[in-house]
A = this chain, B = another copy of it.
Amino acid sequence: MIEVEVKYKISCDEIEVLEKKLEKLGFKLVKSGVEKDTYFNSPFRDFRKSDEALRVRESDECYLTYKGKKIDKKTKTREELNVRIENAEVVKKILLKLGFYPVKEVIKFRKIYEKNNIFVCLDKVNGIGCFVEVEMDVENKENVGEATKKIESLIADLGIKGESITESYLEMLLKKFRSGL
């Protein structure tokens, strides 16, 4: 599975406006709640340099996710392997035993809207503010272009302006943490 994704910084006041626009466009709210993500780094390959990510997500359901390096600079397109797990605590303990170590926790309140397999996440992320992420999952590289076009068209329909961000929430939080803000 390849994840095609764009992300924009928005003001938190815009969230309500975007929700109304999404509903007008026929999007449905499919999920709403807190997600607590714990990111791990590897003992023998620095994931910050290799641009990989290993994450345990705790929400209503729990997931283990691996993300490969980005294969497109403009969008955040990358390979993603995602599996539901029964118990996040046990998986975190196993990762620690295997030598992986936790880097940072990312906690956000997320609302997810969906239409025709396009997912729009409205995120309020602890410590760094509000963002909108638009995402499609495609089977192989040949479908990346088409998905990117659909996403760009929706971004225009929603009236979102400015440059898309390729930095992850984790990277933003680490940068903030290091600069001591």
Contacts and interface: CB of A to CB of B under 8 A. Distances in A.
Interface of A: 42-45, 52, 54, 64, 66, 68, 81-87, 90-91, 93-94, 97-100
Given A66-B98, A84-B87, 16 more contacts: A42-B99, A44-B44, A44-B99, A45-B99, A52-B97, A64-B85, A66-B94, A68-B97, A81-B90, A81-B93, A81-B97, A83-B87, A83-B90, A83-B94, A85-B86, A98-B100
A128 to B, nearest CB: 27
Contacts of A97: 52, 66, 68, 81
Contacts of A85: 64, 83-86
A100 B86 CA distance: 22
A42 B83 contact: no
Nearest to A100: B98
A64 B81 contact: no
A47 to B, nearest CB: 10
A104 B52 CA distance: 27
Contacts of A84: 85-87
Contacts of A99: 42, 44-45
A81 B91 CA distance: 8
A63 to B, nearest CB: 9
Given A81-B93, A84-B87, A86-B85, A98 B64 contact: no
Most buried by B among A68, A82, A86: A86
